Amino acid sequence: MTLTHPTDLHAVPSPETSDLAERRGADLAWGRHYAAVRPDHFRVEYAINPFMHLDDQPDPALALEQWERMVAVLRGLGARVDVLDQREDSPDMVYAMNLGLAFVDPSGRERMVMSHMRYPERRHETRSAEPFFAAAGRETSFVGAGSTGPHLEAGDAFAFGDALVVGYGPRTEEAALAQLARTLDVRVRGLRITHPGMYHLDLAFCPLDERTALVCPAALDGPSADALLDLVPDPVVLTEAEALSTFAANSVVVGRTVVMPACPARLRQELEGRGFEVVVVDVTEFHKGGGSIRCLTNPLDVTVGRDLPRVPGGEVVLPGAVEGVA
């Protein structure tokens, strides 16, 4: 009979520990540097999404308090947050995620593809954002601008797996995908958004680590939902009701900490079971404009060659289509 030394018992992981180790992906390298817009002129001045109602205005003092708390939490987790001033004529500029798609190219150049908003009410925002980012040393460009070129809103684009995952339909046009692929020299995986309440991909998809993401399949058509679930090795699936009522997918992650506007008990259990810590920050005043924590922040540190494989010339992949050069 073989005797096991007592100290050897400590080297044998419990079934729970083994399961966590198998499910836990590597932390995302990006998400440590954000841009945010101070909400000095935030209000609901028009209705361009189902959450906006002119008779339900945010409380300016409470909105600022919530925003400052969010920024403090992110900085407390070690993230850098650069703050832009808000234009008085641009009440939605607080949703900084949609100002543009920032990336670092393989040569180390910091670049930004500015958004071309679908609704003209939001197009003023880039008039201030572009010079801000240019002054910070970023090379700026447009897929479309003014009244020409396809619409692109950066809240539809995320680095995950082998591609830039881009939602298209309500805000971003399919024609923008090929231009994005060529500009960044990456693979773009397009997903068709069909749900009117999840008009940006950031309301239905949130990468958490290299294997895990929050996913709400109800936002997409059938082939796109299947493609996204196939892409994410360990999806945490949100119901339509959870996504719309809590804005849970509109969260950010810094390391293993998920900063969320709300986290139902079932969802918290799933996240903690994967080794994440959840921090809830109330930003409900901003829900009146149709956005939450992810919408209020724009990651500036996605790097081609590290977070996105470089694909010279670019490539666009649509659900059910044959992969090819864009």
Q: Give catalytic residue positions.
A: 200, 295
CA 231 – CA 8 distance, rounded (Å): 39
Q: Which residue, chain included where needed, has tokens 């959870």? A: 242
C-alpha closest to that of 182 among 20, 27, 310, 46: 310
**Pair of tokens at residue 142:** 């447009």
Q: Which positions ≥6 away from 157 have C-beta within 8 Å?
A: 101, 164, 165, 166, 167, 172, 180, 201
| Measured CA angle at 284 (ends 65, 215), to 5 deg | 125
Give dist(CA 51, CA 71) in Å, integer. 23
CA-to-CA dists, residue 207 to 28, 56, 248, angstroms: 8, 31, 12
HSE (side-chain half, CA atoms, 13 Å) at 173: 14
